[in-house]
Amino acid sequence: MRKVGIVGSGALARAVSARLLEYGLPVLVWGPDEEGVGECVRAGAAVASTPAEVASQAQFIIVAAADGPESERWHLGDHGVIQGMCDGRVVVDMTTISPALAHRLSHACREAGGAFLDAPVSGGAPAARTGNLVVMVGGSETAYDMALPVLEPLGRIIVRVGETGSGAIAKLCSQVMCFVNLCGVCEGLALGAKAGIDLRKLFSITTSGAAQSWELDNMGPKILARDLATGYPVSTSQYDLSLVLDAARELKVFLPATSIVHQLYHAVEMGGQTGEASQALIRALETMSGVEVRG
């Protein structure tokens, strides 16, 4: 029987723990949030005192941190994953991180006798809970094959994109497409609002034609209902976009639309809406256009 360790106690970590426990896999969890860890324990997980203890006792270690700096601390800090690594261990990091960090963590795991997979996900906790994550994996084929039986209960699409860093890059590419698409949705709704047309009818038309997309289907109704707080936070959106633009500079890739979206979110932040969700991008366009989008 495989033992899976989970480093993290946020929404994604809790959902992963619950899903794997349902599949009969023994789970050992560590996290900084006692309430989150307690939820995992009530579902049947065992508790570790440090990330190092997780790594010393589990064959597969799934890391689900809030961001790259947190992931790096949990791996390389005092009592971190690397300090507990043993030969044959496989770390699967689901955090959205930079390709450069993926390479550093991979090197540290390899030096400690284990293997590292950068495996960011799309779909978040709700998809993990139902086994519908999209998992983008970078790392060796050997490590991927070893970890696949643990990932299969969690994802409907699990793809090894390539070597170390490839999963991280794939996630950044996905975020470019999501945020630029969301900006297009916001611009279209702002134009319709300023022109005074019925936005509900506009939404019905666009979701039935070539403009249809996940962002329109899911973010459009929230924007029209003025639900700008539920979902992916603005602060996390900006973190993702910063990683994208860092990678673009390193690779010398021109991403003008992404740069504009990053600046629009900065305007939202300056307006004090950092705690709102990604669809709050509409606020920047409303301010500049002198219109409120509501329908």
Please tell me the distance from the alpha carbon of residue 275 to that of residue 278, in angstroms, as a whole number.
10
Q: What is the pLDDT of residues 192-217, one digit of tens each?
A: 999 999 999 999 999 999 999 999 99
Q: Determine if the pTM surpasses 0.85.
A: yes
Q: What is the pLDDT of residues 78-102, one digit of tens each?
A: 999 999 998 999 999 999 999 999 9
Percent of the chain with pLDDT over 70: 99
Q: What is the 3-state secondary structure (H, E, C) of the chain?
A: CCCEEEECCCHHHHHHHHHHHHCCCCEEEECCCHHHHHHHHHHCCEECCCHHHHHHHCCEEEECCCCHHHHHHHHHCCCCHHHHCCCCCEEEECCCCCHHHHHHHHHHHHHCCCEEEECCEECHHHHHHHCCEEEEEECCHHHHHHHHHHHCCCEEEEEEEECCCHHHHHHHHHHHHHHHHHHHHHHHHHHHHHHCCCHHHHHHHHCCCCCCCHHHHHHHHHHHCCCCCCCCEHHHHHHHHHHHHHHHHHHCCCCHHHHHHHHHHHHHHHCCCCCCEHHHHHHHHHHHHCCCCCC
pLDDT over 60 (residue 1): no
Q: Helix 234-251 to helix 256-270 angle, to the nearest 10 degrees?
A: 150
- From residue 58, give the alpha-carbon distance in Å to each of 71, 106, 221, 226: 18, 18, 43, 45
The rounded mean pLDDT for the chain is 97
Q: Which residue has the higher pLDDT, 131 or 275?
A: 131
Q: What is the pLDDT of residues 226-262, one digit of tens each?
A: 999 999 999 999 999 999 999 999 999 999 999 999 9
